[in-house]
């Protein structure tokens, strides 16, 4: 009889525990950081796209060591916990609960049961059961093992709760830091064989990112890499670049030449840059539309994509050679741009002016890009430093704030991913945003740039590659374009020095 009662008691305890009262855990440390891996799909509990917004979906993703996959577990009262995402600071939250389903997202602390969880030990893991309704437990919404599978609540009556493996994690630094910038740079540079890659304007822009890295870190390995890339560029693209009809392409190569000289003192770089710029300027400067530079030889369009970099190149050439006539050229181009391309009242940089074939009159394309906003920002800052005229710095402030507020609503830059050229644009803007911040003694972009860096880094893949859409998680299959992946390298390098 005693044996019968003992067995009966054990069974009753077991069934009770499998209902609404699983034995409470004792091994989770309140205030510690954890990753939660689903035993169903072997993926981590994750905030989709490392979003910082209320209502962002919670899903499952491969381990990329992102803070979007790390959660601080805090004891509220006996058996009741909250889970706070380390990237966003928001809470694991139940939204839209119905009789058998619920949306799981993140939200500010509501101080209600929709952000409270019972964490209960199983044989090989843990159950997370909703305090809002203890009949429901957290689990992947489907049996799908692909990245991005959403998370939901399932009733215990329909399915056993999903089991999660909890692993304690050490705190880690948020981007941007010098160590993170170097890590992201090395991943990109190595995995895409950047040093030996072919290309013209995209290669030139990526060479400028290498110069950025040296400029902010003073690490000579970046200068050695630049030298190797320069030798490859000259071998692949010849000594005289006038065969290239794109005047902006030539100007980008001039920029890495003259900057390379200013940072290293190597006169070979300066001689090449000056020679090619003078040839390009002579053929590109025409009287059409009253001035400015042609974008492409044999065409009538005059674009910001050539006039912006040309102004910057003129300023660098004046610094490098002591020839002030280059500043005169920059000022002339800047003043001309105000007629068609740049609106100093708003800070908006239009794309181009061309002839309307129907009317024969000038037609302005009002499209704006981070590329053009960036180069005009740089030109305004450099001309302010030269002339000491406050109007240039006022223009720079308008350009910077138009980009932040009008183009991106003070949120993360998550566009320009189509085609061959667009994916590399944002890397240009952040270079001149650093110049604006430091040389102009401005702080208005700092928090926004650091937000971009934090979210972009949390959206890296497990190879530390970040695609050009910084608010979108990078696929585990690396992006095809090394140029697109370069923008986040520029972001990390140019943002970590900003305070």
Answer for the pair 442, 426: CB distance below 8 angstroms, yes or no: no
Give, for all 499 residues of the chain, the pLDDT tens digit: 444 333 333 333 333 333 333 333 458 999 999 999 999 899 999 999 999 999 999 999 999 999 999 999 999 999 999 999 999 999 999 987 655 568 899 999 999 999 999 998 988 899 999 999 888 889 998 778 899 999 998 876 655 668 999 999 999 999 999 999 999 999 999 999 999 999 999 999 999 999 999 999 999 999 999 999 999 999 999 999 999 999 999 999 999 999 999 999 999 999 999 999 999 999 999 999 999 999 999 999 999 999 999 999 999 999 999 999 999 999 999 999 999 999 999 999 999 999 999 999 999 999 999 999 999 999 999 999 999 999 999 999 999 999 999 999 999 999 999 888 999 999 999 999 999 999 999 999 999 999 999 999 999 999 999 999 999 999 999 888 999 999 999 999 999 999 8
Task: Write down the number of H helices and E strands in the chain.
Answer: 13, 17
Residue 472, both tokens: 């979108």
Give, in words, the CATH class of 21-169: mainly beta
In this prediction, residue 255 carries a pLDDT of 98
Correct CATH for 178-495 of 3.20.20.140, 2.40.30.10, 1.50.10.20, 3.30.200.20: 1.50.10.20
Cα-Cα-Cα-Cα dihedral of 277, 281, 283, 289, to 10°?
Answer: 150
In this prediction, residue 161 carries a pLDDT of 67
Q: What are phi and psi of 331, to 5 degrees?
A: -65, -40
In this prediction, residue 329 carries a pLDDT of 98
Residue 370, both tokens: 């981070």
Would you list the DSSP string of 338-373?
HHHTEETTTTEE--EEEE-TTT-SEEEE----HHHH
Domain boundaries, the chain: 21-169, 178-495
Question: How many CA within 13 A on the CB side of residue 298?
Answer: 4
- The contacts of residue 388 (CB under 8 Å, 6+ apart) are none
Residue 450, both tokens: 């650091």
- CA distance to 38, 127, 469, per residue, from 98 (Å): 23, 20, 34
DSSP label of 48: G
- The contacts of residue 393 (CB under 8 Å, 6+ apart) are 380, 381, 384, 440
Number of C-beta neighbours around residue 223 at 10 A: 18
Residue 291, both tokens: 């001035």
In this prediction, residue 96 carries a pLDDT of 74
């Amino acid at each position: 009889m005693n044996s019968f009662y003992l067995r009966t008691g054990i069974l009753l305890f077991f069934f009770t525990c499998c209902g609404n009262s699983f034995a409470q855990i004792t091994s989770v440390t309140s205030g510690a950081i954890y990753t939660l891996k689903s035993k169903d799909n072997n993926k981590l509990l994750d905030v989709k796209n490392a979003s910082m917004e209320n209502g962002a979906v919670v899903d499952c993703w491969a381990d990329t060591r992102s803070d979007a996959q790390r959660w601080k577990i805090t004891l509220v009262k006996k058996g009741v916990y909250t889970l706070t995402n380390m990237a966003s600071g928001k809470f694991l939250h139940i939204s839209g609960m119905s009789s058998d389903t619920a949306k799981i997202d993140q939200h500010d602390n509501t101080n209600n049961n929709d952000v409270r969880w019972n964490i209960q030990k199983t044989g090989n893991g843990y159950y997370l059961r909703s305090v809002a309704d203890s009949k429901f437990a957290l689990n992947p919404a489907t049996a799908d093992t692909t990245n991005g599978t959403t998370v939901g609540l399932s009733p215990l009556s329909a399915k056993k709760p999903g089991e999660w493996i909890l692993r304690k994690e050490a705190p880690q630094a948020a981007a941007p830091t010098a160590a993170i910038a170097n890590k992201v740079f090395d991943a990109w540079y190595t995995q895409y064989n950047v040093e030996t890659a072919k290309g013209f304007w995209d290669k030139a822009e990526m060479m400028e990112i290498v110069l950025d890295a040296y400029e902010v870190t003073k690490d000579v390995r970046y200068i050695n890499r630049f030298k190797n890339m320069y030798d490859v560029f000259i071998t692949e693209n010849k000594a005289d670049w006038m065969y290239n009809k794109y005047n902006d392409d030539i100007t980008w190569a001039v920029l890495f030449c003259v900057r390379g000289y200013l940072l290293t003192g190597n006169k070979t770089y300066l001689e090449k840059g000056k020679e090619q710029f003078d040839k390009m300027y002579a053929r590109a400067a025409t009287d059409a539309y009253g001035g400015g530079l042609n974008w492409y030889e044999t065409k009538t369009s005059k674009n910001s994509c050539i006039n912006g970099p040309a102004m910057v190149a003129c300023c660098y050439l004046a610094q490098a050679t002591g020839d002030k006539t280059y500043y005169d050229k920059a000022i002339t181009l800047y003043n001309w741009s105000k007629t068609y391309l740049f609106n100093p009242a708003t800070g908006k940089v239009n794309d181009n002016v061309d002839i309307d074939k129907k009317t024969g009159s000038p037609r302005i394309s009002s499209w704006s890009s981070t590329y053009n906003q960036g180069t005009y920002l740089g030109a305004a800052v450099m001309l302010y430093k030269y002339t000491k005229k406050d109007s240039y710095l006022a223009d720079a402030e308008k350009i910077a704030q138009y980009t932040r507020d009008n183009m991106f609503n003070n949120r993360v830059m998550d566009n320009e991913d189509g085609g061959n050229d667009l994916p590399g644009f944002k890397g240009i803007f952040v270079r001149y945003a650093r110049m604006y911040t430091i040389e102009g003694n401005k702080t208005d972009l700092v928090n926004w740039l650091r937000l971009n860096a934090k979210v972009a880094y949390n959206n890296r893949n497990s190879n530390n590659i970040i695609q050009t859409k910084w608010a979108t998680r990078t696929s585990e299959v690396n992006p095809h374009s090394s140029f697109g992946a370069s923008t986040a390298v520029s972001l990390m390098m140019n943002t970590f020095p900003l305070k």
